[in-house]
Structure formats: C-alpha cells, structure tokens
Copies of this chain bind each other. A is one copy, B any other.
Amino acid sequence: MHFATTDINNLDQQTRVHLINSLSGFKSANLIGTVDAQGKENLSIVSSIFHLGANPPLIGMIMRPHSVPRHTLENILQTGQYTINHVNDEIVEQAHQTSARYDKDISEFLAVGLNPQYKPNSIAPFVKESKLKIAVEFKSSQTIELNQTELVIGQITDIYLEDDSAYCQDGFLDLERINTVAVSGLDRYHTTTALTRLSYAKPEVQVQTIPVTTMKK
C-alpha cells in the first residue's frame, strides 16, 4: 500500500489527520495540570510530550495553534508552572475526556472525575490518580513557522513516584509497574509488555539483555 504526496493531499481532512497521526509510532500519554492567574484549574491530555535532555532536565511538548489545550498554554505563560502526570490504565477514559472543549471556567478535574493534588513549591495541580507526577518550570516557547504550532519547553524541578518499586537501581523507571499507557494515532490507548532491555551498544559487540532490577531509593 503506497500513499504518494498526491494521495496524501487528496485524502479528506479527517482521514488525513488519523493517518498522519499514526505515522510517528507510539506516543506518550500525559495529563498537563495548570492554573490561571486566579487559581482556576485546568487539565488537558497531550500525546506530544517528549524527552529533550537530561542535563539540564528538559522536557518538550507541541501545542497546536487553535486546539483544545490552548487554556493550558495560556495558563503556563501566566504562571510559569505546570505538571506532567502519566496516564495509567485505570484513568484512560477520564484522561481522554479532558480533550473535550470545556469552557474556560470549568475545571476538567471536576468534569471528568479526577482529583487535583497540591504539593509544596508548585502552584500547578497534580493528578492524584497518576503514579508518576512531574513538576515543571516553564523555560521557553517558540512558534514552529512551518505550521504555527507551539514548542513549549520546561525544566523538571520535582519528580513524584508513587510506587517505589518502579525505581531501578540505575535510575531507569519500570513504567509497566505503574501501568503507564501508550497512545497511537489520535485516540487509541495501549498497555505494554516488556520485550527486552538492551545493553549500551558498541561496534562488534553482541548486545546483552539487562535485567530490570527495582530497588528502594
């Protein structure tokens, strides 16, 4: 099956959106918690969070120019803070429902039935039901000129892991232990099954399986 440029251009808008969204592969599923300057809460699911670097610890996300999470972006720019909360298999429907276009004065926490949770040093709310929560300080925002999407970059200030047993001795987190889900396309959610963890690759050396050994901090 081959789609050339003209085939892609000739797809109706919705079909094209589903197809192109499927191409990058599996995506992360995260809930972004924010408040506006008056303290009104917002919660929005995004599948565009990506790792940007470990030192400093930076994390990026893409926000569309005129899409649902616009309140999120406004809040981030107003307060300089947000939280990232892993979606797990028990809260998939509630997480997905946050993508509905709620009015600005409605808290998605209340509307979908998730609980805001506050922690020291962060004015942005976390999601109580999430097992991996990250406090992020806004660092920069830039418009991607090719399609007017917004690249938002933040620095990780605090990490809350609600299940110690997911922490491995070398820093690696066992995301299956906390039931983090993956997304494909716009709207499909998946659990995962570990295939293997592989050693650092070197030329002419056979890679080895690394055991996933969790421990307490």
Give the CA-CA distance A48 to B54 in the complex, in Å: 14
Q: Are B26 and A50 in contact (CB under 8 A)?
A: no
Interface of chain A residues 2 through 29 with chain B (CB within 8 A): 2-5, 8, 11, 13-29
Q: Are B21 and A51 in contact (CB under 8 A)?
A: yes
Q: For residue A77, which residues in chain B have a CB less than 8 angstroms away from its CB? A: none
Q: Are A26 and B146 in contact (CB under 8 A)?
A: no
Min CB distance A158 to B, Å, is 6
Min CB distance A131 to B, Å, is 10
Q: Are A18 and B170 in contact (CB under 8 A)?
A: yes
> How often does this chain occur in the complex, in copies?
2
Given A147-B53, A194-B188, verify A180-B21 contact (CB < 8 Å). no
What string of 1s and 0s marks CB contacts (under 8 Å) between A135-163 and chain B? 00001100011110101010011111110
A62 to B, closest residue via Cβ: B52
Check if A38 is an interface residue, CB within 8 A of chain B.
Answer: no
Given A172-B185, A195-B181, A207-B96, verify A25-B28 contact (CB < 8 Å). yes
A59 to B, closest residue via Cβ: B24
Check if A212 is an interface residue, CB within 8 A of chain B.
Answer: yes
Check if A74 is an interface residue, CB within 8 A of chain B.
Answer: no
Q: Are A193 and B193 in contact (CB under 8 A)?
A: yes
Q: Are B160 and A1 in contact (CB under 8 A)?
A: yes
Give the CA-CA distance A28 to B20 in the complex, in Å: 14
Q: For residue A20, which residues in chain B have a CB less than 8 angstroms away from its CB? A: 51, 53-55, 57, 156
Q: For residue A123, which residues in chain B have a CB less than 8 angstroms away from its CB? A: none
Interface residues in chain A, defined as those with a beta carbon under 8 Å from any beta carbon in chain B: 1-5, 8, 11, 13-30, 47-60, 62, 64, 84, 86, 89, 92-93, 96-103, 106, 111, 121, 132, 134, 139-140, 144-147, 149, 151, 153, 156-162, 164, 167-168, 170-173, 175-176, 180-182, 184-203, 205, 207, 210, 212, 217
